[in-house]
Chain A
């Protein structure tokens, strides 16, 4: 944290600071961050430390070109999990971006980078 960010906070002009307010955190995921996977399809599971509102959550897949695809969420997942399936994966680097809402109203988000190798 730079000095001016600190002083900004101290001067009540803290709008420059931090990211989204966060509460739910990832306990484990498939794929794990920086994992190398093979195959054209990938079952994605992200498990959190608390209940989440899957109806107000999303998983996006960012490919090599930077274009994002929203992945449909599996509604049969448990209350602390987001599940989805990515298809048609070509070799290369990808990034999963997730965002979720806790029942207490906190939004959290994060990224899981991975590579497809064959």
Chain B
């Protein structure tokens, strides 16, 4: 049961992320059809019909995804409650949150069905779209922090509505905007769509910001909670990502203005920035799901990390730990009887355990710095480029290090043999991960050498990096030691943010041309170096 509880913790945050993403794309699509495609039908001509069909297809698919994710969320919460509380399944299924999930699934099914019929010529969706979109967002607001509050529940639910609605119309609308840029051939109609979408997005950003500010003021309470509590740290990460999105949106706004004066002008940058906006937008949505699983910072006035504690944890200190403590000094060397009565996760950590973990982080950081420096030199020095282009091979060095060092109880450090250790699922998972890192490094190396020529191969690296960074933000919170958890978030959240920057700048390097491509090509190696330095100076106490 403990394993199920742990899996549920992670699964529920990821599911919430999928639900918010699917809901945003569904509602964003309905808003796009309602405010752009249908009113501009005459100006768009035949390409308008093509765009409508494609948009309805994406609305259908995202609504189906919403139905599946909501059903899974309802089922997993019901099972979790029935299993842990020893109550009948029916009683567990009567929980308010389960009802909200089921209602949202039902609404999702109605949206999917309407979109499906709309693709076959049905017009019911045209009048139903605003009601369905509002209901979807409204129902979802029924399962947020707001409903648990005693004070200001109504105002907070209203703020949630504005926030989620704004995110859906803006971020959820971008895939449809990209479709329009591809499908609409007439430059004047395309410029009109771009201009309208710009206005629509600006309104959505205003709504998102207004709702977000109201919630932040209530849930965070004091400026020092923005860095001293996990909720504040996650919110700060969300704000940084939001600023990144605004920057990309601003670039698009300028491109759209240019398009108005010169309708037949180039569209490449607008498309590429929009693609990146989708990626960063999805990361923000998953970050929001993670944020929703945390108690508001306002409720934790006594468990916050102070500014001095944060500076002490983050301040780079030399020398870094490149010498490992002896195995005999680690808790793993203790006989099993010494800790058998302690619940999982509560075993005390010795100073040597912390030193051992820091040693591992610092060495791993050196590998990551090496990759970033090599990738940077590849771009800066023609003489060194032929050697530096082999930087993905450093992944194999990192994997080798992790293979030897990751599990202290296994050979060559511990008493467990290699084969024997594979019976432990966690150790087996680590071994699998090591193999994945080797495969990933070799794959990217072959891509760089031009030995893998599939069109999708170069995108594996940026997508994996950006996804991994998003997952680093989307983790469950154990909350056994609130201050310690905040200090961990403070070290890990910046890693995730530079990961997002690295992934999407590499994407832009692949997708853009000219000067913009060159700039993006410098951003991601620098982000790698920063991530490596964070690991090199990582401290656990």
A111 CA to B478 CA, complexed, in Å: 13
| B residues in contact with A115, CB < 8 Å | none
A9 lies within 8 A of chain B by Cβ: yes
Complex: chain A residue closest to B531, CB-CB: A10
Contact mask for chain B residues 281-298; partner A; CB cutoff 8 A; 1 contact, 0 none:
000000000001111100
A85 CB, min distance to chain B CBs, angstroms: 19
| Interface residue SS majority, chain B | helix
Given contacts A3-B361, A17-B476, A20-B8, A103 and B471 within 8 Å (CB-CB):
no
Is there an interface contact between B295 and A99, defined as CB atoms closer than 8 Å? no
Is there an interface contact between A105 and B150, defined as CB atoms closer than 8 Å? no
Query: When the two chains form the complex, which single residue of A10, A16, A50 contacts B148, counting CB atoms closer than 8 Å?
Result: A50
A21 CB, min distance to chain B CBs, angstroms: 5
A9 CA to B493 CA, complexed, in Å: 12
Query: When the two chains form the complex, which single residue of A7, A24, A25 contacts B433, counting CB atoms closer than 8 Å?
Result: A7
A103 CA to B6 CA, complexed, in Å: 21
A50 CA to B295 CA, complexed, in Å: 9
A4 CA to B149 CA, complexed, in Å: 37
A50 CA to B148 CA, complexed, in Å: 5
Contact mask for chain B residues 397-417; partner A; CB cutoff 8 A; 1 contact, 0 none:
000001000110000000000
| A residues in contact with B84, CB < 8 Å | 99, 107
B488 lies within 8 A of chain A by Cβ: yes
| A residues in contact with B109, CB < 8 Å | none
Complex: chain B residue closest to A106, CB-CB: B293
A-B contact count (CB 8 A): 174
A34 CB, min distance to chain B CBs, angstroms: 14
Complex: chain A residue closest to B430, CB-CB: A4
A6 CA to B101 CA, complexed, in Å: 31
Chain B: number of interface residues, binned into ranges: 35 or more
Contact mask for chain A residues 68-81; partner B; CB cutoff 8 A; 1 contact, 0 none:
00100000000110
| A residues in contact with B86, CB < 8 Å | 70
Contact mask for chain B residues 84-126; partner A; CB cutoff 8 A; 1 contact, 0 none:
1111000110011110110000000000000000000000000
Is there an interface contact between A51 and B479, defined as CB atoms closer than 8 Å? no
* B contact set with A: CB distance below 8 Å: 5-10, 12-13, 73, 77, 80-81, 84-87, 91-92, 95-98, 100-101, 143-150, 292-296, 299-300, 343, 345, 357, 360-361, 364, 402, 406-407, 426, 429-430, 432-433, 436-437, 467-469, 471-472, 475-480, 482, 488, 492, 499, 540
A-B contact pairs, 5 of them (CB 8 A): A20-B5, A58-B85, A103-B96, A104-B292, A105-B95
* A contact set with B: CB distance below 8 Å: 1-4, 6-25, 27, 49-53, 55-58, 70, 79-80, 99, 101-109, 111
